[in-house]
Amino acid sequence: MPESGPSPLIQEVLPDYDRLQTFFQGQVGCSHEAKDLTQETFTRVLSWQPKAQVTQPRSLLFRIARNLLIDRSRSRAKSHEISGPLTDEQLAATPDQSAAPDQHLAARENLRKVQATIATLPDRCREVFILSRFGGLSYPEIAERLAIAPSTVEKHMIRALTACRACMDDAAP
């Protein structure tokens, strides 16, 4: 039985392999991870069974790539949730050691309250907050990564920061 060649879809997007890898490199900052994501994107394109003819194969390729980045971001956000709150040892290492013991306790409680508040945020809002505050990304970078408008990023951040502020106001004596 003769072996069939690559699908027409793959033939159309294969020239974009290097461009896609460069895109991932710019998004994740790690060449090894960029190569893995590029490979995964092409694996998904290969296994994809379209119900109709694909009229814009490059758009499909980069949509799959953006979806992979979103999945990666969500997975990392969930891994922060799974790891749970900081341990007492981690918390003890962060406060100013010149503070009184009651100040240490108050700081730990406040941190736990903020962590709980962040955990209750809607998924996208929490994702935006984590990418901004812990990932160090700018609003335009977050917007591009999540394929949302920069104004939407700003709205999510306002919501997250308002929730954190309310949590801290409730914790104030």
Whether 172 and 114 have beta carbons less than 8 Å apart is answered as no
pLDDT tens, 71-128? Answer: 888 777 666 554 555 555 555 555 455 556 777 677 778 788 888 888 898 999 988 9
pLDDT of residue 76: 73
pLDDT of residue 43: 85
Sequence-distant (6+) residues with CB within 8 A of 72 are 28, 37
pLDDT tens, 136-154? Answer: 888 998 999 899 999 999 9
At residue 10 the predicted structure's pLDDT band, cuts being 50, 70 and 90, is confident
The pTM assigned to this predicted structure is 0.44
Alpha helix (H) ranges present in 29-56? 31-47
Measured CA to CA, the distance from residue 128 to residue 160 in angstroms comes to 9
Fold for domain 85-173?
A: Arc Repressor Mutant, subunit A (1.10.10)
pLDDT of residue 149: 92
Structure tokens belonging to residue 64: 């799959």
Measured CA to CA, the distance from residue 123 to residue 134 in angstroms comes to 16
Most confident of 60-69, 77-86, 162-171: 60-69
- Among the residue ranges 38-52, 64-78, 83-97, 153-167, the one predicted with the least confidence is 83-97
pLDDT of residue 42: 86
| H helix count then E strand count, the chain | 9, 0
DSSP state of 49: -
∠ Cα 144 145 148 (to 5°) = 55
Q: Where in the chain is the domain with CATH 1.10.10.10?
A: 85-173
Q: Where in the chain is the domain with CATH 1.10.1740?
A: 1-83
pLDDT of residue 2: 47
For the chain, the average pLDDT equals 79
Measured CA to CA, the distance from residue 95 to residue 98 in angstroms comes to 9
59 has a pLDDT exceeding 70 = yes
Whether 112 and 85 have beta carbons less than 8 Å apart is answered as yes
φ/ψ bin of 136: left (φ > 0), alpha (ψ from -120 to 50), beta (otherwise): left
Measured CA to CA, the distance from residue 165 to residue 45 in angstroms comes to 44
Fold for domain 1-83?
A: Rna Polymerase Sigma Factor; Chain: A (1.10.1740)
155 has a pLDDT exceeding 90 = yes
129 has a pLDDT exceeding 70 = yes
